[in-house]
Amino acid sequence: MKRDLLTIRDLTASEIRQLIDRAQRMKQEWSEGSLRPSLSRRILGLIFAKPSTRTRVSFEAAMYRLGGNCIFLTEKDSQISRSEPLADTARVLARYVDTIAVRTFAHRDVEELARFASIPVINGLTDDFHPCQVLSDLLTIQEKRGSLEALHVAWIGDGNNVAHSWINASARLGFTLSLACPPGHEPSNAVVEWAGKEGTGAVHITRDPREAVSSADVLYTDVWASMGQEAEAEERRKTFRDYQINDSLLAAAPSHALVLHCLPAHRGEEITEEVMEGPRSVVFDQAENRLYFQMALLDWVINRQD
């Protein structure tokens, strides 16, 4: 049976752990020159309606390093822009390629593609979720910290797509997640309620960034205005002023705490230059790990036997 990755809810806790371990192993094998080209003659199709540096290049590089190929389309270069139904697009692409990675606005669009494609569909970011980002961030945390046991992550800023994926991950893996968000910018109730009902983690929402970081192992932030919210950027700069990761907030966290950011970063807004370039920041190792996580994910979805 094909497996899609539309949100982290599509995976069990044990599958998440296996994917992270597989990514760590593939990273090691790649560095030793012993990684097998397990995706030879396989093709990844990418359909992106929003800009991307990391997600696109890490997916494409992962595919090439595993011996496969990629076909990249923007929505506007395809007939989707001329109203060809997603259901038709999905059924046609499934006859040409082995898996599809999609970056778009409405989450229901990736659900629609997945419903009609007979091949795996991977969410490369929607307005609501960014699962591949958070799964590869868990690889970074496991690598830097040694394990994911008794983890406490503090999210500072907007309750956005990346925050939603953190909530899903906390629910699945059972770690503590504190989110400090300004009023009106909390994560969606539906996502939080799902975590409360189905999850094994603890999700706390507060207005106070200092409270969120006080016992955190990881401080995490993202842009104040996500793609598609450019018109609100000025207003958001005022609303989110007190939700910046800076030296003063870092001083309120335990001395071992790491700083992560999914990037791209807006220095001087959600994070200062000092913290971004400082010794606690692992943002570029974090970006690098996107590559190894995509390798593990592509290998898993394409080479599954059942």
181 is catalytic: no
Q: Maximum Cα–Cα distance for the chain, whole Å?
A: 54
222 is catalytic: yes
Nearest-approach distance from CB 38 to ligand NVA, in angstroms: 27
The entry of ligand NVA, ligand CP, none that residue 223 binds, CB within 5 to 8 Å by partner kind: ligand NVA
x/- site string to ligand CP, residues 54 to 73, per CB under 6 A? xx------------------
76 token code pair: 């506007």
CB atoms within 10 A of CB 295: 27
**C-beta of residue 226 within 8 angstroms of C-beta of residue 161:** yes
Q: Which amino acid is at 133?
A: Q
The entry of ligand CP, ligand NVA, none that residue 53 binds, CB within 5 to 8 Å by partner kind: ligand CP
Nearest-approach distance from CB 160 to ligand CP, in angstroms: 12
41 is catalytic: no
- Mode of pairing for the β-strands spanning 99-103 and 43-48: parallel
Q: Which residues of 100-118 are buried (b: 16+ CB within 10 A; e: fewer)?
A: bbbbbeebebbbbbbebbe
Only one residue has tokens 């910018």, namely 185
| Site residues for ligand NVA per CB under 6 A | 125, 160-162, 222-223, 226-227, 262
- Choose the catalytic residue: 130, 152, 236, 261: 130
Considering only residues 234 through 263, tell me which ones interact with ligand CP, judged by CB under 6 A.
Answer: 262-263
> Nearest-CB residue to ligand CP?
55
Considering only residues 98 through 137, tell me which ones interact with ligand CP, judged by CB under 6 A.
Answer: 125, 133
24 is catalytic: no
Query: Interface residues with ligand CP (CB under 6 A)?
Result: 52-55, 125, 133, 262-263
